Amino acid sequence: MARKRHQHEKLALRELDSRHLSDINDLTYRPRPVTSFKQFAERWQRTALPNLKLSSQPPIRSQLKRHLIPVLGTGAMKDLTAELLQSFVTDCSKLSPKTTKNLDPVP
């Protein structure tokens, strides 16, 4: 009985793998585009930013344009790591204290 069950598990795993990998192994497979931080920020400004208070929108646009997009813009969102963000925060220490405070999402 145990051997039969083991065979069924192998078959089930093989079927699961074939379902998930069949698309990738297909000769017509094309990887999905990777979104850069800049593309994400532009989409966020169009969709989410308008939901914030009108008085909050200009400073956020400015922070994105002057500080975030120049540093993080070309990188893929999937590649944003804690180390990269920590490096950004460390570089922000060279800015004025008020600018640094404005970039901090936690009040």
Please classify residue 106 by burial: count the beta carbons closer than 10 Å to its beta carbon, then call 0-12 exposed, 13-18 middle and 19+ buried. exposed
44 and 26, same domain (yes or no): no
57 and 94, same domain (yes or no): yes
The pTM (predicted TM-score) of the whole model is 0.64
Helix, coil or strand: residue 64: helix
Position 93 confidence tier, pLDDT thresholds 50, 70, 90 = confident
87 and 58, same domain (yes or no): yes
Both structure tokens of 104: 């901090």
Position 6 confidence tier, pLDDT thresholds 50, 70, 90 = low
- Write out the residue range of the structural domain in which residue 82 sits: 37-103
> pLDDT tens for residues 32-78?
778 999 999 999 999 999 999 999 899 999 999 999 999 999 989 98
22 and 46, same domain (yes or no): no
- Domain count across the chain: 2
Question: What percentage of the chain reaches a pLDDT higher than 70?
Answer: 86
54 and 76, same domain (yes or no): yes
Query: What's the pLDDT at 100?
Result: 82
**One-letter amino acid identity for 28?**
T
